[in-house]
Homo-oligomer: A and B are copies of this chain.
Amino acid sequence: MTIETQGDQRTEQVHKLVAASISQDLGFLLAKLHATGSVMNNRALAEFDLKERSYSVLILANSGLEPTQREMADFLSLDPSQIVALVDELEKRGLVVRAPGKQDRRAKTVTATAKGGKLLQQAGEAAQQAEAEVLGGLAAEESAQLKALLRKALWGSGLAD
């Protein structure tokens, strides 16, 4: 992603090229904020030997919704084979367990262990902090608004804020 860290203290300088029309392009804006967000997130999660992806899987495993790997793949927009690798690693570390689906024994539900839940709590705080840094330029209300708009774009308006 090639995000310069600038000594970890200063937020990115406003660039000469912001004037270009691409700064109005949604795809570009998403790509860029996603890139910086990923760097910050992965940096914050490294302390817990997690990355954005494994963190996401752990959250879903801890949600109480007993998701199957397929559901995770669909939801996270990942290939099923990538879920396998992620769950493999988390399971090896004792953070989640696989169990055969109750109605469908082909499927495997992934559930966080107590250990996984504990780690997730700590990691969640770090991730929250990273998110706050990414949204540093926004007021609290604006941050909430941004997230609400992203959710609405993804799933429509039929969801609680």
Contact = CB atoms under 8 A, between A and B. Distances in A.
Copies in the complex: 2
A102 interface: no
Interface residues of A, number: 71
Given A73-B2, A77-B32, A149-B149, A26 B37 contact: yes
Interface of A is mostly: helix
A41 interface: yes
Interface of A: 1-4, 11-12, 14-38, 41, 52, 56, 59-60, 63, 65, 67, 71-79, 127, 130-131, 134-135, 137-138, 142-143, 145-147, 149-159
Given A2-B78, A27-B130, 10 more contacts: A1-B77, A2-B79, A15-B155, A17-B67, A18-B155, A20-B63, A25-B59, A135-B153, A137-B157, A138-B149
